[in-house]
Amino acid sequence: MRSGIAEPTEDPSRWVFQFPKTIKGAGMANHLTPDELSKEYGMKREDVIRLCHEQSVPIYHGKIDKSLFQAVREELALTR
């Protein structure tokens, strides 16, 4: 390992799935329903959906990427 980045394996087909070890939380995305996000962030379900629409946060199959939603909320908090 050099400079905190994992070296690729000998099998090139596995290279796609390797992430730098220095990135906190790198890996699988965490997708939640609007109800789950509303409970976690203390918001109304309708407000979660409205925020997603206004900020172009995608909702696929009724699920929202938690990290993207959180990043959008933090960005809005900084601009207000």
- CA dist list (Å): 6 to 9, 11, 19, 27, 60: 9, 14, 7, 14, 31
DSSP 3-48: TTBPPPPS-GGGGGG---TTSTT-SS--EE-HHHHHHHHT--HHHH
The pTM score is 0.63
- Which residue(s) pair with 2 in the sheet? 5
pLDDT at residue 52 in the model: 96
- HSE, CB side, 13 Å, CA atoms: give it for residue 58: 3
pLDDT tens by residue, the chain, 80 residues? 455 555 655 665 555 545 455 555 555 669 999 999 999 999 999 999 999 999 999 999 999 999 999 999 999 988 87
pLDDT at residue 79 in the model: 86
The helix (run of H) or strand (run of E) holding residue 49 is: helix 45-54
